[in-house]
Structure 1
Amino acid sequence: MTTTSSDVTRPVAPDTPRGRWAPVVALAAGIAILVSSEFLPAGVLPTMARDLGISEGTAGLAVAATAIAGALTAPTIAMVLPRMDRRTLLVGLLVAAAVANLAVAVAPGFVVLLLGRLVLGAAIAGYWSFAFAVGTYASPGRDHVISTSIALGVTVATIVGLPLGSLLADGPGWRWGFAAAAVLSLIGAVALTRALPPVPAHPGAGMSMLRQALRNPRLVAGVVVLVVAVLGNFLAYPFIRIAIDETSPGAGMWMLVLWGVGGLFGNLAAGRFSHRLRAVVTVAPLLLAVGLVLTVLAESTPVMALAMLVWGFGFNMVPVGTQLWVTRVEPERTESALALQVTAFQVAITLGAALGGAVLDEYGVELVLLIGAVAAAVAAAGFGALRVSRG
């Protein structure tokens, strides 16, 4: 008989506001800190490249490095640590992120920076793989709230983290952003320790669960389409500041805020319409494609502002929609399904940042944006062709 996540004895959430929301807030704050750390290079890319004496395309590999580690970590961490208490695991990953960010903050050269980013990638992938399952264990029956809140943490990272990093790059220096991320990671670890109960591992966690999940053809097809959708975004996203500066020099911080505001509403919209998941996962990459094309066509600051809102809205629907999508397509092995979703993100980020950097150095940011738009449109068609329910 297949063991499902519902077979594990779950705690009853205390009937108080703090008991209901403390785990949700702590988990969302943790992912916000980690994602801020992951995408800080996008906000400081030109300054970081000059300081390290490398091209902007090469500096974009600072984003790809985290994704490389994440792609390897997400599907394997449950196999390496199949019985570890999941609260302990998440706390340890935040501590590892603190060490990684500190290494980047003091890095004397690009090699040390890349090593720090690799450690950060492992921390992000592991945290993202388990946060949803941990949240639904600590607050049972609130899967939509958990998914939306975790994705909201990602949006907070884009609204606050990236513009702040950009501001620091233009002021005291890009390294201060990573130093702040190290401190926040430690604070997040303490918050998780206090907010979460012990969370036992899923009884079937490990290689067997992953193999069974991979036998689900709809899950595998959806993960492949997700790679294409996320690739469309991350071909361009590491170089968003460069695209903005071509049309609206001096407005980089505020444009990144608009991207994040669009993302906030995208998160909420995906959660609100989660009962129509097929529509959500189809519309999201389509809007992403529109946002990328608008960015190419923008010849004024108002049009660029609209492009940032649409881009942010479309892409930030993707994490919420696809997280719920994979758990509905594979409801009996959600831990492995979510690990595959995270792997898809990290593979796409790796490929996108590397390909985008190569195209940028050779042909410029406009072609990068257009290739991303095509990939996003293809992903919209792919999700439109896939069913969510069985049968």
Structure 2
Amino acid sequence: MSTSTTTTARRDAAATPTSGRPSWTPVVALSFGIAMVVLSEFLPASVLPALAADVGVSEGTAGLAVAATAIAGAFTAPSIAVLLPRADRRTVLVALLVAAAVSNLAVALAPSFAVLLVGRLLLGVALAGYWSFAFGAGTRAVPGKDHVVSSALAFGTSIATVVGIPLASVVGDAVGWRTTFGGVAVLTAIGAVVLGLTLPSVPPHPAAGLKMLREALRNRRLMAGIACVVLVAFANFTAYPYIRIAIERVDPSTTTWMLLAWGIGGTVGTVLAGVLARWLRPLAATAPLALAFALVLAAFATTVPALAVAVVLWGFAISMMPVITQLWVTRVESERAESAMSLQVTAFQVAITAGSSLGGALLDGYGVRPLMLVGAAAAVAAGLGWAFLRVPRT
């Protein structure tokens, strides 16, 4: 046996405890990776005014930094398993985190908006691939705990929003948005190292590839749910890249605290979605309706208390959706969960692309209120759609 093979075997043995109890360390590492890629994706929203001014574009155009990531992600999510049907998922996940770190470094050093967009396209590849494989890797590490793994990954998203995005706003104001991106690049690289050391080998599904994807696409109930994913993600991301501008419209001095409140609401929503996972259908219907109410309230808020309620409810409602949608698609298509997850990620990325692009156009042309109302309408449609879709019981 070669030295490299021996090292790999020892690492895998260390990652799998001999006591019979599953180790949650790999899931924590996966969650940290999710936190880093999510923080990277939405980092422009925290530093949008400074970023736009520095690279010489309008704030609406700067919002395309989010859309560019989503465009790359929309193409990557359904294709990465097809292109890498036999690759060890641990190797792929680590490589994707490395790519995310490189993309953030490229943005931090970008001399122009065009170069910045190239960096954001690379992030889209990393983000979509990571999301597509992380859930399956987590359930492989701790079998039979799907709802806990889903909540743990979504909790990584919440950590990014509770701590990362408000902190990024503060750091960006204090030392510049480029330093902020550079710092996230370092943290993401650390996450790649930790994941490589803790996650056991994750062989691909024997049927992974184009055939699995085609069969998943034939599942009408799955595709109807994917359409609802598009609607609810579109609802959020028409508005979210411009949340800081919405806050500053009411009171600029509350920006950091409002972003923190959004994240706290998101943490509660993530935990509650995991706890209530057995009632998946009513949960999937009501969370988008709560999001719609929050967006309407944010659109018409003129005082800090009203805006605070809207922001907390907004974070609460949308942060339930990653848990809900992961569980929904993998229950409806349990035999082809990897392809189902890739379609869910694609749905999010398509919606982010369309939503952030439309939101930017509405912001530049009409102000922040119309984009909030468009998002609310899409959220209502998503809630009604899920209300009429059945989901298999576990």
Q: Offset of 1:177 from its aligned partner? A: 1.2
Letter in 1 for 2:322: P
The whole-number CA distance in structure 1 between the counterparts of 2:351 and 2:20 is 38
SS at match of 1:74: helix
Letter in 2 for 1:209: M
Evaluate the alpha carbon distance shift between residue 112 and residue 34 of structure 1 in structure 2; reply closer, same or farther with a 3 A threshold: same
Q: Offset of 1:297 from its aligned partner? A: 2.0
The whole-number CA distance in structure 2 between the counterparts of 1:342 and 1:208 is 19
- Contact 1:13-1:140 within 8 A present in 2 as well: no
Which ranges of structure 1 fall in alignment gaps of 5 or more residues? Answer: 1-9
- Contact 2:22-2:141 within 8 A present in 1 as well: no
SS at match of 1:387: coil
- Contact 2:132-2:345 within 8 A present in 1 as well: yes
TM-score, normalised on structure 2? Answer: 0.95
1:135 aligns with 2:138: yes
Q: Offset of 1:195 from its aligned partner? A: 1.1
1:7 aligns to what? Answer: none
The whole-number CA distance in structure 1 between the counterparts of 2:261 and 2:21 is 31
The whole-number CA distance in structure 2 between the counterparts of 1:350 and 1:241 is 19
The whole-number CA distance in structure 1 between the counterparts of 2:50 and 2:35 is 23
- Contact 1:164-1:177 within 8 A present in 2 as well: no
1:42 aligns to what? Answer: 45
The whole-number CA distance in structure 1 between the counterparts of 2:18 and 2:234 is 42
The whole-number CA distance in structure 1 between the counterparts of 2:20 and 2:236 is 37
Q: Offset of 1:85 from its aligned partner? A: 0.4
1:320 aligns with 2:315: no
- Contact 2:16-2:200 within 8 A present in 1 as well: no
- Contact 2:72-2:125 within 8 A present in 1 as well: yes
1:119 aligns with 2:108: no
1:242 aligns with 2:232: no
1:253 aligns to what? Answer: 256
Letter in 2 for 1:331: S
1:209 aligns with 2:212: yes
1:285 aligns with 2:288: yes
Aligned residues with identical type, % of pairs: 59
Match of 2:169 among 149, 161, 166: 166
TM-score, normalised on structure 1? Answer: 0.95
SS at match of 1:75: helix
The whole-number CA distance in structure 1 between the counterparts of 2:246 and 2:201 is 45
Match of 1:104 among 102, 107, 110: 107
Number of residue-to-residue matches in the alignment: 381
Evaluate the alpha carbon distance shift between residue 249 and residue 86 of structure 1 in structure 2; reply closer, same or farther with a 3 A threshold: same
Task: List per-residue Cα deviations over 1:105-142 (Å, max 9, x = no partner).
Answer: 01000011000000001000000000000001111111
Q: Offset of 1:217 from its aligned partner? A: 0.2
Q: Offset of 1:279 from its aligned partner? A: 1.1
Q: Offset of 1:300 from its aligned partner? A: 1.0
Q: Offset of 1:20 from its aligned partner? A: 2.1
- Contact 1:225-1:383 within 8 A present in 2 as well: yes
2:374 aligns to what? Answer: 371
